[in-house]
Amino acid sequence: MATQAPPASTNTPTDAPDAIVVRFAGDSGDGMQLTGGQFTLSTALAGNDLATFPDFPAEIRAPQGTLFGVSAFQINFGSRAINTAGDAPDVLVAMNPAALKVNLAALKPGGLVIADTGEFTKRNLDKAKYDANPLEDDSLAPYDVLAFDISARTLEAVEPFGLGKKDGLRCKNMWTLGLALWMFDRPREPLHDWLNRKFAKAPDIAAANIAALDAGHAYGETAELSAPLKQVHLPPAPSEPGLYRTITGAEAVSLGLVAGAQLAELPMFFGGYPITPASAILHHLARLKEYGVTTFQAEDEIAAVCAAIGASYAGQLGVTSSSGPGIALKTEALGLGIMTELPLVVVNSQRGGPSTGLPTKTEQSDLYQAVYGRNGDAPMPVIAARSPADAFEVAIEACRLATQYMTPVMLLTDGYIANAAEPWKVPDPDSFEPFPAKFLEEPRGEELLPYKRDEKGSRPWIKPGTPGMMHRIGGIEKDANTGNISYDPANHQHMTDTRKNKIANIEVPDQEVAWGEQTGKLAVVGWGSTYGPIKQAVRRSQDKGCSVSHIHIRHIWPLPKNLGELLSGFDRVLVPEMNTGQLKTVLRDQLLVDAESLTKTSGQPFQIAELEEAICAYFDGVQGNEGGQVAANDQQLPSTVESE
């Protein structure tokens, strides 16, 4: 972050830093995700760059007021490029005691707490395991506190609409949103429009919510003089000219798959089964039938992938999607897809594991599963999206690889990417190179040879229904040309090698350095959703004079051909991951590089500060780490010497 400007005149709006982090926290029934989502939209419309992090419990309606029922939505926005949802919030909106208890530790020292005193009752304090009301003792002394009865003020505002107390209190989130809109100098009109559209069939509810929103806004205006509430204005972030919208990872994957199928000139068949956090993709695609999409909610994960394989066999682009446990169930069918060499896109929205794990929390721990996790020698390409917007391009790339190389492809995203939103410059669909799929309609020579390959190593795609091209395929090892069953030892050796080489020789773009020099002391290598925090941490470390570069890997299997050479230009290689070191293992295995791990499996994304600290530990002259010894943090940074 830029150094703080000297205090200027105290004009309104207040002079602001270039980025602010706000966290809305409340009961899972308080509508915090909705509040956050609408605040995101108004922030985007104001031209700020932003990133969000919705963090909610697995329970749909956890018992009210409990610690485990707290739902939060964090947004980082600013007048400069934003890559993460932010480390510590500057502002915490706590709708009840439990929300305060769960989230206070994250708040920046000196940060602002906005709390609804109406919810700080004895009963709610007990549920949140508070012995005393924190708003009334000195436990919030390190922070600015703005505590007032949001509940009562909301009821006042909606009183003319004759809602009961219960329904009236449902408008609390809009009151709070109104206050937030005032704080950050946002227009209310888009929200008015949205509420009128959302409650078109219940004009009273719309009017009550608008009244609550306006009342919250008015409160900010009139209470302005009382510190610590100040209005902050962040000018728009500079960005490329063009049309923008906000997009979540699940939306971007869905749109990317639609675009990919169009570029392949194929109808898409999407087989899915409900699972958190992957279901959103099925929800989006189910509404896009006019784009040649058939969605099939199968009886289980296995049927979802098998139906997709059946559709690919019949000439469509088969796609399936799930999260770790569901991908585990699909594994045998992925082997069938690899054996029969049919196109298939598999999207894994990773979550905390193993087993059911943490369904609503993010993790990157399915990399081994993607790369190594099948019976037999069963290679398939693995690619990963780095952000919600990036997921669009990566989904197109998955469609390209699947159809051009006749293979299942694994696309890795995670719970963070799936749910988080960021601004997205809407691409021109014509800017992507089409890759039309080709079907073989007559034998290439005298004889029909369904397994005879082209120069890329791909076998022909032959649709049932094509006259004169009848043949049989299946999961048993097949003859290298005819595809008939073959138990011949030399043939199996040949086919195993062929399948391996086909994937190994896939053309992958050369690896580039995401940020920094081509050589140096430290390369920080990441994949997936750690892109944002790593990029920021590397930039900040460079500002401190560290010779560090950021390398971000999209193609995980096969790896870019030049990656080994690129990494050899650095003295040390650090791999931060939200698992116990899975990409590190792959890099060591494939490149014989002495990669070191920095791992985190708390279900929360990396913070920039913790990455920055780990990076700086490698450098001499950084304050607090003279000598640059790596052992600064034994738990997170294993010694470079393997212990016996």
Partner 1 sequence: MNAPVKIETTLKDWETDQEVRWCPGCGDYAILKAVQRTLPQLGSDPANTVFISGIGCSSRFPYYIESYGFHTIHGRAPAVATGVKLANPDLDVWLVTGDGDGLSIGGNHMMHVLRRNVNMQIMLFNNEIYGLTKGQYSPTSREGTRTPTSPIGSVDHPANPCAFALGSGARFVARGIDVSKNLPDVLKAAHAHQGAAFVEIFQNCIVYNKDVFDAFAAPKGAEGQQLWLADGEPMLFDKGTKGLAFDAEKLAFTVVDVVDGDWQAAGVRVHDVKNRVMAHMLAELPFDPFPMPLGVLYDDPAPTYESAVIAEREASVSGKEANLAKLLSGGQTWTVDGSAQDPV
DSSP 1-68: -PPPPPP---PSSBP--SEEEEEEEEETTS-HHHHHHHHHHHHHHTT-EEEEEEE--SSSSPPTT-GG
Taking the complex as a whole, the smallest distance from the CB of residue 301 to partner 1 amounts, in Å, to 10
**CB nearer to partner 1: pick between 172 and 478:** 478
- Pick between residue 340 and residue 407 the one whose CB is nearest to partner 1: 340
Indicate the residue among 147 and 342 with the shorter CB distance to partner 1. 342
> Minimum Å distance from CB 374 to partner 1?
12
Alpha helix ranges (H) inside 184-240: 189-198, 203-222
Contact 477, 497 (CB under 8 A): no
Residue partners of 53: CB distance under 8 A and separation at least 6: 73, 74, 75, 85, 86, 416, 420, 605
- The minimum distance between CB 525 and partner 1, in angstroms, equals 31
Nearer to partner 1 by Cβ, of 248 and 585: the residue is 248
In the beta sheet, which residues pair with residue 315? none
Task: Find the helix packing angle between 249-263 and 390-405, rounded to 10°.
Answer: 40
Q: Which is nearer to partner 1, 290 or 634 (CB)?
A: 290
Q: What's the closest the beta carbon of residue 91 comes to partner 1, in angstroms?
A: 22
As a whole number of angstroms, the distance between CA 339 and CA 496 comes to 10
Closest to partner 1 by CB, 428 or 634: 428
Q: How far apart are CA 201 and CA 306, in angstroms?
A: 42
Tokens of 554: 């999209």
Distance CA 260, CA 436 (A): 10
DSSP string of 331-391, one letter each residue: HHHHHHHHHHT--EEEEEEE-B-STT-BTTS---TTHHHHHH-SSSS----EEE--STTHH
Backbone angles phi, psi at 113, to 5 degrees: -105, 125
CB of 139 to partner 1, least distance (A): 41
For residue 268, the number of C-alpha atoms closer than 13 Å in the C-beta half-sphere is 32
Least gap, CB of 343 to partner 1 (angstroms): 12
Nearer to partner 1, 108 or 492 (CB): 492
Closest CA to 183 of 144, 155, 135: 144
**Chain position carrying tokens 């888009």:** 190
Which of 466/547 has CB closer to partner 1? 466
Min separation Cβ 504 and partner 1, Å: 25
What is the nearest approach in angstroms of partner 1 to the Cβ of residue 283? 15
Scan for tokens 């429009």, then name that residue. 193
Residue 420 Cβ, how far from partner 1 at the closest point, in Å? 16
User: What is the radius of gyration, based on Cα positions, of the chain?
Assistant: 27
* Cβ-based nearer residue to partner 1, 171 or 304: 304
Beta bridge partner(s), residue 570: 520
